[in-house]
Amino acid sequence: MNPILIVDDNEQILEILSQYIANADWPFLTARSGEEALSLFDAAAPSLILLDLMLPGLDGIEVCRRIREVSNVPILMITARDEDADRILGLDTGADDYIVKPFSPGEVMARIRAVQRRLPASSESETLVIGSLTIHLPSLSVSLNSHRINLTRKETELLYTLASSPGRVFTRDNLLTLVWGYEHVGNYRAVDSHIKRLRQKLDAYPHDFFNIATVWGTGYKFERTLP
């Protein structure tokens, strides 16, 4: 396993998270600024990033944005501001999830374990083809009408989950459990924000044979609109 990268300018938080991750026998690296985080990302190819929103120099949003230009590595955003606008901004930038300070180190470890369980297997068989839409889960590769669609890990997993069961209505709680991999009941903005971005990226190319439909008051479903 490649190291987990912990990015925070608070020495106490770095020490606590480092100790918990070390106790779980996971390798880790620490960074105290956005610039240092990007340097370590390039050098070490971390398997997961714990990224503080408020950093000296480049903030967490800009770091996340730059990483998302080249990688789908899981990013858990850490923020001291429990406000919807900050959460939505982090998710829209490409973070897979967010953790609000003050947090329980045990909760952070549960989030990390959940993400590791959700990492795609290396099997080549996990490929879903619907018309000209192809989803290859192990490589997080999605193409539509021969165009490669640049999706984040969570967007790919959402699309794969929905498309695997056309016509099935998934509640937001269903999707939080299936895609995020842990009990996160009630955090519907995470689902809605990811669905919104997923639709925007897919809608850049014609696709009259499927639609991600909203089932009002319930959730979402993948509709095949052509045989």
Q: Which domains are seen in the chain, by residue range? A: 4-118 (3.40.50.2300), 127-224 (1.10.10.10)
Q: Is the CB of residue 4 less than 8 Å from the CB of residue 49? A: yes
How far does Cα 23 stand from its chain's mean position? 25
What is the structure's pLDDT at 85? 67
Q: How many angstroms separate the CA atoms of 95 and 17, rounded?
A: 19
Q: How many angstroms separate the CA atoms of 10 and 32, rounded?
A: 8
- In sequence order, what E strands does the chain have? 4-7, 28-31, 48-52, 75-79, 97-100, 127-130, 133-136, 141-144, 147-149, 170-171, 210-215, 219-224
- Cβ neighbours, 10 Å, residue 161: 18
Give every CB contact of residue 92 below 8 A, 6+ residues apart in sequence: 193, 197
Q: How many angstroms separate the CA atoms of 157 and 179, rounded?
A: 6
Give me 70's structure tokens.
């080249």
The torsion of the CA quartet 197, 198, 199, 205, rounded to 10 degrees, works out to 110
What is the structure's pLDDT at 112? 86
The residue with tokens 């240092």 is 36
Residue 165 backbone phi and psi in degrees, to 5? -135, 70
pLDDT in tens, the chain (227 residues): 678 999 999 999 999 999 999 998 888 999 999 999 999 988 888 889 999 988 988 999 999 989 888 777 889 988 876 666 666 777 778 888 888 888 888 888 888 888 777 655 444 457 888 888 999 887 888 999 889 998 888 888 899 989 888 888 888 888 887 787 655 555 778 889 899 999 999 999 988 889 999 998 889 999 988 65
Helix (H, G, I), strand (E, B) or coil at 22: helix
Predicted TM-score (pTM) of the model is 0.61
Secondary structure letter of residue 168 according to DSSP: P
- Cβ neighbours, 10 Å, residue 121: 9
- Cβ neighbours, 10 Å, residue 190: 23
What is the structure's pLDDT at 14? 92
What is the structure's pLDDT at 95? 85
